[in-house]
A and B are shown apart, each in its own frame.
Chain A
Amino acid sequence: MIEISQLSFRYREGAEPILQGIDLTIPDGSFVGITGAAGSGKSTLTYAFNGIIPHCYPGDFYGSVTIDGLDTCEASLTDISRLVGSVCQDIDSQMVSSVVEDEVLYGLENFGVPKDQVEGRIAEALDAMGISDLRHRGIAELSGGQKQKVAVASVIALKPRVLVLDEPTAELDPASSLAVFELLARYARENGTTVIVVEQKIALLSDFADMLLIVDGGKVRFQGTPSEVLEHSDELLEIGVNCPRSTSLVNRLRARGLVDAPAARNVDEAVRACKQVLSGKGVSA
């Protein structure tokens, strides 16, 4: 369980707080999507989960963040990183080895994982990301999508309770982006891991997340299931968040009184709502 209470943070060089009075409870095993306009504070919010603030970036930190009861202000970064695994926005800055196997091994050695468990952990992590065949490949020769999967595999090999990813699909094509989300969702489901993803591709978040957070001006403006949050498509647009087109379509049909379906999270749900409209059963009598 992650609990954030009245969290505010101002970077030392910043004039205004980048996060303001955030209260949040994330149950174990949740798949949380975070989005918002540039500069809204969403990346800084991820730094609160993995202890980067207050441990690495100096500033004024108010309130508290606890991960499974561990207060991130009081715990060392090493202790936090045993619970929370992070994948950076810039994958290349995260890679330290030249071969895939060594990259996964690096974290395991640093965490002092017993030698007899290492092989199993490497094989399991590569398999979970569907990249067992890349084990002996050079990282420099991998595509962006493959590197992304290596970065995630290196972190999940450490078996964190919480996985935090900042825009993991920014440079990936649609098929690779979808594949990364499918692998993350499956891994989280099978292992009970909490996954927190910051992402601009709201269509992916709305399809996979069970909790969606919209950050604006350092505050969580909307929070709930994707369907609950996406009901507010007009207000979201005002703060620079565009809903998936499937959501906008159903919201428009509802505004015209043609259907009373909830906000569509994906194309499947939009197709279902459209069929109700076409069959004359969009609105219950």
Chain B
Amino acid sequence: MIEFENVSASYDGELPILRDVSFRIPDGDFVAFVGTNGAGKSTTMRLVNGLLKPSSGQVLIDGVPTTQLRTSQLAAKVGFLFQNPDRQICCSTVREELLFGFRAQGRADAEAEAKVDAMIERFGFDGDAEPFLLNRGTRQLLALASIIVMEPPVVVLDEPTTGLDFRECAKVMDVIAELNARGTTVIMVCHDMEVVADYAKRVIAMTAGQVVADGETFAVLRDRDVLARTHLLPPQVVDVSLRLVEDGAVAAASPVALADTLDEMTDALAAAAGACERTGVR
């Protein structure tokens, strides 16, 4: 369980970046933080893994304030994927990169080697490859693999799909979804509302260092007021359904108005068209 209790934070001790933020993330949740650049999302991520400590209030990891946890203790509980994998990758081979975390914690034993081998096989990596010669998507996957090989109960991902093409994005997100399905808590900052809609269970929307909405993914992404306050665009299917209701083309409780996904919307429209035909509109 991760708890933020009235957290404020600042980098220079003066300008508050986060102001009185409170939320709870239970084990196994999959939360996306959304909002514009500068809303305080990345600062929130740094508070979760203890890179930054609150200037007031407290951040609790399993009931213990981050101010009372050593960096190594926090690292064992919270894995952190940077937005740019090149800020994370530091070893000369893929295998060394995957072993890095174990070495840092003094646990590079036979069990660690076995976990690294399994990870290399699972992702289809070449263990002897030079990380910086891999393409951007593979470097992102390597950075992610080097986090999850340590099996932290919580992973924090700062824009994990930035700069990736569609296939690379799906590959990275499928790995994250699988982790979550096995019980890992996932906390992600993401600008791509289609990715948020496809994967997150819950959305926390921020603006100007404060939380303006916290709820089930589509409840937040369908809230025009929240979208306007956070300068977000809804996923396109949601936008279409909201617009059809706003223009009076469908009733607010109709299946078309409630369709969140491409499949749901296509089926709802096909059913509505069928009803139209039966009642002789055409």
Contacts and interface: CB of A to CB of B under 8 A. Distances in A.
A280 B265 contact: no
Contact of A278 (B165, B235, B249, B262): B249
B129 to A, nearest CB: 16
Interface residues of B, number: 44
B266 A278 contact: no
A136 interface: no
Contact of A172 (B191, B256, B282): B191
Given A245-B235, A245-B237, A280 B167 contact: no
Nearest to B250: A278
A175 B240 CA distance: 18
Interface string A153-184: 00000000000000100111111101000000
Interface stretch (B30-38, B56-64, B111-119): B30-38
Given A37-B165, A171-B162, A240-B165, A278 B236 contact: no
Contacts of B166: 37, 200, 237, 240-242
Interface in B222-249: 231-233, 235-237, 239-240, 243-244, 247, 249
Kindly name the residue among B193, B237, B273 whose own CB sees the greatest number of chain A CB atoms within 10 A. B273
Nearest to A170: B163
Given A249-B237, A271-B243, A275-B247, A258 B35 contact: no
Contact of A245 (B194, B232, B277): B194
A244 B166 CA distance: 11
22 contacts: A38-B168, A173-B35, A173-B231, A173-B232, A175-B231, A178-B233, A200-B164, A200-B165, A240-B166, A241-B165, A242-B166, A244-B236, A245-B235, A246-B237, A246-B240, A258-B270, A271-B244, A274-B240, A278-B249, A278-B269, A278-B272, A280-B273
Interface of A: 36-39, 143-145, 167, 170-176, 178, 200, 203, 237, 240-242, 244-246, 248-249, 252-253, 256, 258, 267, 270-271, 274-275, 277-282
